[in-house]
């Protein structure tokens, strides 16, 4: 347990993240901050009143300012507008870049030693904005993407095979968008390669559904985007850091030569511990996976170049 974790944004993703953090008792105090007056306060009070029933002692508080967030050990950034039907993640670029810039300026002032987990979309570019504005080292700025994308991939495989999700081992790398790269060569069910259990056409269909998994949910909801699975993914990263678990999770990390790339955030296998990003694991990829990862990186660089800070 750490002393304080802050969640920026009290919308569906932020509020659900705060609730999960409190229920797991990862911090003595969980702070929700949002510009909407009364929203973080009301949701935090509601969550705190669930504590006697759920049995957690983490105190949840809501605020419209950053003073209450001071000296947070971890900050999860969920602020920004959500995707709407027909809107790509890149359509969100300019609006959310401005929001994340303002948030990052506040964080730099009040919690200069925090570890940041960025959830705002477009994820890879917003992670870049947060690191650029705060000046934090890459070890303390991570994007939540691969954990979510991998969870979707695993869920679809479990559904196709009618087996437990617990037995699916998989990893999705690359940018958080239509060019993400599910690693078929590292996908297995209790150690059995997925290629021995499903025909290639079925695997290809699952890969495509994974890539459009967020859009599928947006299409159903019509006025919002996913938040249960994204919040679970962010909290899993927080848990790995708080408990110094040394977990290997796919996260958006700033590359400095790994996988032959530099100067961008991209989903790669990361070892997470109390210091944040402890190392990036470089795994051998097939020729097709290497090419797909390079294509995904190009898709991240383009909107990065369009960001004006």
Q: Which residues are catalytic?
A: 176
For residues 289 and 267, give the distance between their C-alpha atoms in angstroms, rounded to a whole number: 13
How far does Cα 10 stand from its chain's mean position? 16
For residues 167 and 151, give the distance between their C-alpha atoms in angstroms, rounded to a whole number: 12
Helices (H), the chain: 12-23, 39-48, 51-54, 93-110, 123-134, 146-161, 200-211, 213-221, 228-242, 287-306
Contact of 104 with 96, CB cutoff 8 Å: no
Strand order from edge to edge, sheet including 74-77? 59-63, 27-33, 2-8, 74-77, 115-118, 141-143, 247-256, 262-273, 276-280
């Amino acid at each position: 347990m750490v002393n304080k974790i802050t969640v920026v944004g009290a919308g569906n993703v932020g509020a659900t993240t705060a609730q999960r953090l409190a229920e797991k008792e990862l911090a003595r105090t969980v702070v929700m901050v949002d510009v909407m007056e009364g929203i973080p306060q009301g949701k935090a009070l509601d969550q705190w009143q669930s504590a006697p029933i759920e049995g957690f002692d983490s105190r949840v508080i809501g605020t419209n300012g950053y003073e209450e967030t001071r000296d947070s050990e971890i900050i999860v950034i969920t602020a920004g507008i959500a995707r709407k039907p027909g809107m790509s993640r890149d359509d969100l670029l300019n609006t959310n870049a401005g929001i994340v810039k303002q948030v990052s300026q506040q964080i730099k002032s009040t919690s200069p030693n925090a570890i940041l987990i960025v959830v705002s979309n477009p994820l890879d570019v917003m992670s870049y904005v947060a690191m650029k504005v705060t000046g934090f080292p890459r070890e303390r700025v991570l994007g939540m993407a691969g954990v979510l994308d991998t969870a979707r991939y695993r869920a679809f495989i479990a559904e196709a095979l009618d087996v437990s999700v617990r037995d699916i081992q998989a990893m999705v790398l690359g940018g958080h968008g239509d060019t993400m790269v599910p690693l078929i060569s590292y996908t297995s069910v209790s150690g059995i390669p997925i290629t021995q259990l499903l025909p290639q056409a079925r695997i290809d269909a699952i890969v495509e559904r994974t890539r459009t998994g967020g859009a599928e949910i947006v299409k159903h909801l019509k006025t919002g985007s996913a938040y249960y699975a994204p919040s679970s993914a962010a909290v899993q990263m927080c848990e790995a850091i708080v408990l110094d678990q040394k977990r290997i999770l796919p996260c958006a990390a700033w590359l400095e030569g790994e996988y032959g790339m530099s100067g961008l955030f991209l989903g790669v296998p990361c070892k997470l511990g109390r210091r944040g990003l402890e190392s990036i694991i470089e795994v051998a990829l097939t020729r097709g996976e290497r090419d797909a990862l390079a294509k995904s990186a190009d898709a991240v660089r383009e909107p990065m170049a369009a960001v004006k800070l």
